[in-house]
Structure 1
């Protein structure tokens, strides 16, 4: 079922990524889901992951990378604030519910590559909300350490770190959610973190973020707790590499959440 919404805000979050904020009444979704995106009378349908939390509805936030694909091209070159769009929710790779005490005691690992940050950020936001509001006896009491997370965000260059400032704030020590390890890595070996790039305006003071270079996926998965739940989104090759590695380690498939749809 399609829901009618309107574009209420648009902004460039990186040199190649446009963020669209939509107002979509009577809409609901689960963290990690995506939408089919239509703009009548065009005949195309775009599939874009939701970056916002279900608790933000009727606000629905999409981050869309520039490409020659007709829906993405329309967003970047022709979309206008107040324009009407239609969205329909889909996808089954969603955050586990927090009504199971075993899940409440279990750490989570989030791995995002490039524009795959959208569904992973939605899952991470909701995870933090669940952790902060968990009743006593489910991981937040005085005798139990709160559930921890390990978050890897891989991009080709630092200025492609979409939502970096928010991730830095959510994981900052001393904040309401400061129990997390946050790792940013630049995969292009010729790029240095010390180069003057736009990302630094938002996270220059975030000394708690680990900045690495190169492909760090396997290293991060090796550093993760054995009993963790894994949430992964990125290029298909990244997902394949992660899933194959985790399966070789004996991680049950039910503990690995991913979905490839492009």
Structure 2
């Protein structure tokens, strides 16, 4: 048996490794040429300390408290030289990937579809080359090189992990480098280079109600998260906690992928969503901003995990709203994106 370990480095790079049953994370990483920080490898020095955000493991009792205190262990801190996984895990490594002699993964693919979904959004579908390995955590993003330039742009996956066909929901920015390429030049069959995955905005294990807040093409990472949740539901691993999405746009015709959200509602009994339109002249039943529609029943008195992805003003408004309301969610993960670099900041 083998487990998949996602190593998240502090520079945003994620590297996936396989860990054999009974093998430590440190040994598995070195076997796959990822030089995690270490000195003694015996649980004495604490140099290999990291944080396990998700998954189950055994640390044994061979390490010294000077290397890892009981308080640190209770908070999810681990010593990778002692950590033996019993499930897939996500581990935060507090150094840059370059210091561990590993790099961002690179893959190639072929454009399968470029479809304008609205005035301001485009769906890009890429078929990865046979044998290409592109693991990621739902919610993460990747760099896509802009053909004919030395530039790249960053886009969140809208498809679930483990697929040979990947999809992206891209904002159509007038005069944008990638937007111009996709709308004026890109043809089915053209080749694209991708590198990643990256980012600390991804779905954690669900143990309480979840509130997802999406602005515009910030819907993309939530489609990926929900697809994975739906797959788990179909595999008999569904969660009982409610998951609610509030999806806000500027105009009625900017609402996209509604059919996909409806299909996800059918597959996920605990999932619900609401759409919001800013335009005052809209006939939409919910107008204004997402903060106007964060009702008491979806806030659960703060006993929620919040995921937020949208343009900086939206992110700032939601942060201010929680502060004014005196609500402190159990966990809060957000990502800002700008027209030329999406996403731009995660927390």
Q: What TM-score range do you get, normalising by the shorter chain?
A: 0.7 to 0.9
2:179 is the counterpart of 1:72? yes
- Which one of the candidate residues 51, 58, 63 is aligned to 2:164? 58
Structure 2 match to 1:48: 155
Instruction: Report the alpha carbon displacement of residue 243 of structure 1 after superposing the two structures with TM.
Output: 2.5
Contact 1:108 1:148 in 2 (8 A): yes
TM-score, structure 2 length as denominator?
Answer: 0.60
- Which one of the candidate residues 221, 224, 239 is aligned to 2:299? 224
User: Secondary structure of the residue that 2:294 maps to in structure 1?
Assistant: helix
Instruction: Report the alpha carbon displacement of residue 156 of structure 1 after superposing the two structures with TM.
Output: 1.3
Q: 1:75 to 1:123 in 2, by over 3 A?
A: same
Instruction: Report the alpha carbon displacement of residue 179 of structure 1 after superposing the two structures with TM.
Output: 2.6
- Which one of the candidate residues 281, 288, 293 is aligned to 1:214? 288
TM-score, structure 1 length as denominator?
Answer: 0.78
Q: 1:238 to 1:221 in 2, by over 3 A?
A: farther
Residue by residue, what CA displacement relative to the aligned partner does 1:130-153 show, whole Å, maximum 9, x if unpaired? 344355xx85xxxxxx22111101
User: Secondary structure of the residue that 2:276 maps to in structure 1?
Assistant: strand
Instruction: Report the alpha carbon displacement of residue 237 of structure 1 after superposing the two structures with TM.
Output: 1.0
2:292 is the counterpart of 1:190? no
Residue by residue, what CA displacement relative to the aligned partner does 1:29-52 show, whole Å, maximum 9, x if unpaired? 111111111044411111112111
Distance in 1 of aligned mates of 2:108 and 2:271: 37
* 1:238-249 correspondence runs (5 A): 238-247=314-323, 248-249=326-327
Instruction: Report the alpha carbon displacement of residue 125 of structure 1 after superposing the two structures with TM.
Output: 2.0
User: Secondary structure of the residue that 1:212 maps to in structure 2?
Assistant: coil
User: Secondary structure of the residue that 1:260 maps to in structure 2?
Assistant: strand
Distance in 1 of aligned mates of 2:318 and 2:295: 8
Contact 1:243 1:256 in 2 (8 A): no
**Which is worse superposed, 124-133 or 180-189?**
124-133
Q: Give 5+ residue unaligned stretches, structure 2.
A: 1-104, 339-347
Distance in 1 of aligned mates of 2:295 and 2:317: 11
**Which is worse superposed, 68-77 or 220-229?**
220-229
Contact 2:158 2:222 in 1 (8 A): yes
Contact 2:140 2:200 in 1 (8 A): yes
User: Secondary structure of the residue that 1:162 maps to in structure 2?
Assistant: coil
Structure 1 match to 2:214: 112
More strand, by proportion: 2
Structure 1 match to 2:269: 178
- Which one of the candidate residues 328, 331, 338 is aligned to 1:250? 328
Q: Give 5+ residue unaligned stretches, structure 1.
A: 98-102, 140-145, 194-210
Residue by residue, what CA displacement relative to the aligned partner does 1:153-196 show, whole Å, maximum 9, x if unpaired? 1111221111111102222xxx3323332111111111113xxx
Structure 2 match to 1:13: 117
More helix, by proportion: 1
Higher RCO (Cα < 8 Å, 6 or more apart): 1
Structure 2 match to 1:94: 202
Q: 1:184 to 1:244 in 2, by over 3 A?
A: same
User: Secondary structure of the residue that 1:245 maps to in structure 2?
Assistant: helix
Runs of 4+ in 1 over 4 A off after TM superposition: none
Aligned residues: 225
Contact 2:108 2:192 in 1 (8 A): yes
